[in-house]
Amino acid sequence: MSTPASAYAHAQAVYASHGVDTEAVLARLATIPLSLHCWQGDDVGGFETPDAELSGGGIQVTGNYPGKARTLAELRHDLDKVYSLLPGKHRLNLHACYADLGGKKVGRDQYDVTHFQSWIDWCKARGLGLDFNPTLFGHPLANDGATLSSRDEGIRRFWIDHSIACRKIGAEMGRQLGTATVTNVWIPDGSKDLPVDRKAPRERLEASLDAVFQEALDPRHHLDAVESKLFGIGSESYVVGSHEFYMGYAVKNRKLLCLDAGHFHPTESLADKISSVLQFVPEIILHVSRGVRWDSDHVVLLDDPTKAIMEELVRGDFLGRTHIGLDYFDASINRIAAWAIGARSALKALLLGLLEPTARLRAAEEAGDGTLRLLLLEEIKTLPFGLVWDEYLKRHDVPTGDAWLNEVKNYEKTVLSARA
């Protein structure tokens, strides 16, 4: 169902009365990519071995909905379907455990670009940029909950070498695709119960990171990022790579800081952190997710926290310094639908931020008119945003409303059901 021209014209006029040019907004939105996370399609298992499954790392995927991708070919086929349901041109966020090993057994510390060339070629054929992550979980050398902060020098060396290899792979991805790859380092290191020594693991982590980042890489091709977490399963009492640790490290070493919406206490506002962090680091990446109680990776919704994140990016003029990625995994519902619901919700939130009459709001605030500011913030909640969203989908030949679910259901019948 397409948006009648008169409906969009009405929305255009309403927003124009608030000083917002919807045509300029739609043009701007089309230039902002989301980095779609590959791991929603197979429950964060990867394909290093024929029976690879998620293990360890404080991560847990719940649900057993049929149709999980079992091979790289199946995962790529599913990704094609998801991208067809999203307006705009986007990116792919890839974990190292999705290496194309051709059936061979290769240590993660021995990975090189040949193990990811098929992904580069796949993205190039579709005009997608690539982002990358070393995988420091789901491996025997991560089973005790320590990788880059391990007491064992051999274990630390293995993960340092893996991370160094991933930086080089990321740089080659960026070079070949003509758009810088963000390689993001997240580790599961922590303690289930109260530690006595919180200092030594962080000293070892800092030394390991220094070794990982020792070689300077061309920023035209590659950008480094580090990511914190509040806690994980098995690291409830202590996380080595806390927000404070990584913020300090990023400021000191001019690295990108990754802010994951599910990696903070439920009462914290990620949106409030953005302007503070960007005061001191060059750029950030966002992992847009949804925390529910203890679990950090529910499918993104058009909820208040997500809207607040996107509003802040627009209000602070931070979009040019922010890389927006998604990070959730739900195996309790159709995985293609979960991917699309979350990505479309993130895009809706971004569109809402761009449609906000920020100039009027700022003028009221600068004039000290808190009454007008509050009034406007309430009034814009009922502006005809949905008509602008439908117009955007129509222009990108993407189904509106819930019509796209019919495509997913048909895909389930013809493709996913055969995997049961």
Q: Which helix (H) or strand (E) holds 379?
A: helix 370-379
Question: What CA–CA distance (Å, rounded) separates 26 from 210?
Answer: 42
| Whether 260 is catalytic | yes
| Whether 115 is catalytic | no
| Whether 327 is catalytic | yes
Q: Which of 74, 297, 311, 390 is catalytic?
A: 297
- List CB contacts of 307: < 8 A, sequence separation 6 or more: 349, 352, 353
| Whether 295 is catalytic | yes
| Whether 397 is catalytic | no
HSE (CB half, 13 Å, CA atoms) of 203?
Answer: 5
CA distances from 69 to 15, 58, 62, 73, 74 (A): 43, 22, 16, 8, 5
Q: How far is CA 71 from the centre of its chain?
A: 22
Which sign does the torsion angle of CA 154, 167, 176, 33 carry?
positive
**What is the dihedral angle through the alpha carbons of 15, 16, 17, 20, rounded to the nearest 10 degrees?**
70
- List CB contacts of 376: < 8 A, sequence separation 6 or more: 357, 360, 361, 364
Per-residue tokens: 67: 């149709």
Q: Which of 78, 189, 260, 330 is catalytic?
A: 260
Q: Which of 68, 115, 162, 263 is catalytic?
A: 263
Count of other CB atoms within 10 angstroms of residue 31: 9
Q: Which of 255, 273, 287, 348 is catalytic?
A: 287
Following DSSP, what letter does each residue of 301-332 receive, concatenated? -S-HHHHHHHHHHHHTT-GGGEEEEE-----S
| Whether 396 is catalytic | no
Q: Which of 131, 227, 330, 391 is catalytic?
A: 227
Q: Which of 139, 221, 229, 348 is catalytic?
A: 229
| Whether 193 is catalytic | no
Question: What CA–CA distance (Å, rounded) separates 23 from 400?
Answer: 19
Q: Which of 109, 112, 236, 295 is catalytic?
A: 295
Active site residues: 186, 227, 229, 260, 263, 287, 295, 297, 327
